[in-house]
Every structure is written in C-alpha cells, then in structure tokens.
Structure 1
Amino acid sequence: MQQIARNVLGLLGAVALMAVLAIAAFIVARSNPTISVGWFFAAAGVSYTMIILLVLHKE
C-alpha cells in the first residue's frame, strides 16, 4: 500500500512540475518574443527527465 501511495504522489509531483515548466515557458514567451521557446522547452525536458530518473533511481 505504501508503494502505491508513493507512486501516486510521485505522479502528482511530476504533473505539478510539468505545469510549473509550462507556466514558466508561457511567461518567457510573452515577456521576450525574441527568445526561442524551443530552447527553453529542450532545457526543461532534459532537467525534467533527470529529476524523474533521480526519483526512480531512489526506489
């Protein structure tokens, strides 16, 4: 039961992190149109993947 709760909390945390990254990308895109949002999404995707892999490795 604890494993299921940990997995559900991990999933909710991952969704929350994705929402924060999307909001940050929207703010960056609206505040400075000369910045390519693609680079931001690429960096966010790499950091998101590393965080998820770190969390999965701890189990």
Structure 2
Amino acid sequence: MALEPHVWTKYSTSGNNCVEVMLTDTEVIVRNSNHPDAGTLSFTHAEWDSHTQGQKLGVFDLPG
C-alpha cells in the first residue's frame, strides 16, 4: 500500500489496535487512531524508508 500525501491512512491487524500514518512534503507522521489528540511521532522520509526496509527484512520481528 502506498501512502497518499496529506491524508491519514489507518492500519490495523488486530481489531481496535490501530495506527494512522500521513505523508507530508517533508516527513511521515504517525498517531494512535483511538487517541488522535494524544500526540504524534514524526520521521523524515529517509528515516521512514530505513524503517520500512528493516521491516521487510524482519529486523523488528518479535522473537518466536
């Protein structure tokens, strides 16, 4: 799935545990969709690319 610029995209794999991600011109912003006013995390495009590449390689997988 590709992010659409300036639109919150919701992602969930387990019911009510959802995150929302938004792409801007300079960063990627992440928030808890159940508590959107609680604050956000922001990442540069380079940081986000590095993170998503690590995800694809399994770097962040929990121990089995």
* TM-score computed with the length of structure 2 as normaliser: 0.31
| Relative contact order, higher structure (CA 8 A, sep 6+) | 1
Which structure has greater strand proportion? 2
* TM-score computed with the length of structure 1 as normaliser: 0.33
Which structure has greater helix proportion? 1
